[in-house]
A and B are shown apart, each in its own frame.
Chain A
Amino acid sequence: MTRKFLVLSLLFSAFLLFNAPQSFAAGSEEDKTSFIMHHVKDSHEWHIATFGHTHVTLPLPVIVYSSDRGLEFFSSTDFQNHETHAFGKEYAHEGYYIDEHDHLGRVDGASFIELSITKNVVMMFIVMILLAWVALSAANHYKKNGAVAPKGAAAIIEPIVIFVRDEIAQKSIGPKYKKFVPYLLTLFLFIWFGNLLGLLPGAANMTGNIAVTMTLAVLTFIITNVNGNKDYWKHVFATPGVPIPMLLIIVPVEIIGLFTKPFALMVRLFVAITAGHIVILGFIALAFIFESYTIGVVSTLMVTFINIIELLVATIQAYVFTLFTAMYIGSAVAEHAHDDHH
């Protein structure tokens, strides 16, 4: 057990390798921890590693739409200093610039919509391709062999499919669960794969990005309310068993409740994943702040420990997001036998 843990620690020390030169190059203590926020946030380029003064980065496309100029395509390198690879307002290109905080801006201040393929978008595509590959090869097994015992990818996916169908969908939604199983499955696997891949050294914090969690929460919100039946809406606008004067208070609360549910989903996943990444990177940063080998060893051991916990969190958060989605859908489609059910 101890040996396995130490081997794992050695593996995770790759995190240190990825971030060491960058931090050592930095002067002040604040700069030594700047890589944490840099990792956690989205970026216009994918910084993979730094060797001495050579940055190994994957330049990414910058796509902008504005009503006056239409759709425009650039590369993230267009907005960089060619030697230091730093972004800044002074490196503006064709009226746009990316500032030091990785914000895209327009020199003349006019409004525009950014549709860039950022680091998280690339990460998302990787997750999606991987997920599609695994799921399709699993489905292929059944197509080829018929309804037989699973093998290969199907053996990995099938228990998850059965778990999501029986434990999450059927138990939380009730008799009408079948319609929602595909969405819940996609949701669970997308978040789970994203969480797990995000733990790899150098990977992007995709599921810990608020835009991603927001989009997923909005999809859940739409599916829940589109499928809401008479009882559901009656519960919101004419809560049964409540005197009419009280409805003045209850109805706004219920309406707010419609929105707090997906909001909670959005924040929970974002916070859980981002916090995990920050804790891991924080321990790594300790080594550079103290500039001590001892602390380096201890923090690597801690990083390993947190990483193991993060593997658990990755699964739990995917499960929780899916479970709550199923419960919200369940409350929307449930048939109440009695009006004074609640």
Chain B
Amino acid sequence: MDLITPGSGLIFWQLFGFLGLLFILIKFAWKPMLAALEERESSIENALKSAEIARNEMANLKAENEKLLAEARLERDTILKKAQEASNKMIEEAKTEAQKQGAQLIENAKAVIETEKKAALADVKNQVAALTLEVTEKLLKKNLSDDASQKALVDEFVKDLKLN
């Protein structure tokens, strides 16, 4: 058989054999395979897409969380600030109140002391007077126990009367 002359038998078998092979492979191999490949590729693509969506959602959630956290922090700060202010105010008020009360107390104490002092002084005066009377009485009693002295005293009184 010649090298560059195509043999009729070979052409015939090649043509029908190849067409038969083509038919069988298209029907039973390539179609199911290409369909399966496409299905798998689309499922992978879908999975990737949904992963992307999930990732975006996660990022959104995270951002939202951070926003919430920042808001919470801000709120906490304001609350703390307000509390600080309130406590400061309260302390201040308590201080002034205490000072006022202290002053009042001191004033009252002073007044009491004054009264007490006056009373004590009065008392002392009375007691001094009483003591003086007593002493005088005792003195008088002693000095006038004899007649001579009584006579002297009377003389003195008389002298005084005379002078008057």
A residues near B (Cβ < 8 Å) are 37, 40-43, 63, 101-103, 113-118, 120-121, 124-125, 128, 131-132, 135-136, 138-139, 142-143, 146-148, 154, 157-158, 161-162, 165, 181-183, 185-186, 190, 209-212, 214-216, 219, 274
Contact = CB atoms under 8 A, between A and B. Distances in A.
A182 B27 CA distance: 9
Interface in B1-32: 1-15, 17-18, 20-22, 24-26, 28-32
Contacts of A185: 25, 30
6 tightest Cβ-Cβ pairs between the two chains A and B: A142-B36, A211-B6, A147-B40, A211-B10, A135-B29, A182-B30
B9 A117 contact: yes
Given A139-B28, A161-B30, 5 more contacts: A41-B1, A125-B13, A185-B30, A211-B6, A215-B11
B10 A212 contact: yes
B21 A138 contact: no
Q: How large is the interface on B (under 10, 10 to 19, 20 to 34, 35 or more residues)?
A: 35 or more
8 contacts: A124-B17, A128-B18, A135-B25, A135-B33, A158-B37, A161-B30, A185-B30, A211-B6
Given A124-B13, A142-B36, A186 B21 contact: yes
A115 B25 contact: no
A161 B7 contact: no
A38 B2 CA distance: 10
B36 to A, nearest CB: 4
B129 interface: no
B56 interface: no
A274 B2 CA distance: 13
B39 interface: yes
A36 to B, nearest CB: 11
B32 A142 contact: yes
Given A115-B9, A117-B9, A182-B31, A147 B18 contact: no
A125 B20 CA distance: 11
B67 to A, nearest CB: 42
A210 B37 contact: no
Contacts of A162: 37
A250 B132 CA distance: 166
Given A113-B8, A143-B32, A214-B6, A182 B14 contact: no
Nearest to B2: A41
Contacts of A37: 3
Interface string B20-64: 111011101111111011011001000000000000000000000
Given A115-B9, A131-B21, A139 B14 contact: no
Interface of B: 1-15, 17-18, 20-22, 24-26, 28-34, 36-37, 39-40, 43
A186 B22 contact: yes
A125 B30 CA distance: 20
Contacts, number: 135
Nearest to A44: B1
A139 B28 CA distance: 7
A114 B5 CA distance: 13
A209 B10 contact: yes
A216 B18 contact: yes
A18 B42 CA distance: 52
Contacts of B12: 115
Given A131-B21, A132-B21, A138-B29, A120 B10 contact: yes
Contacts of B13: 115, 117, 121, 124-125
A215 B14 contact: yes
A136 B29 contact: yes
Contacts of B37: 147, 158, 161-162, 165
A139 B27 CA distance: 10
B15 A182 contact: no
A106 B15 CA distance: 25
Contacts of B14: 121, 124, 211-212, 215-216
Contacts of B5: 210
A101 B30 contact: no
**Which residue, B6, B8, B14, has most C-beta atoms of chain A within 10 A?**
B14
A285 to B, nearest CB: 17
B78 to A, nearest CB: 58
B7 A118 contact: yes
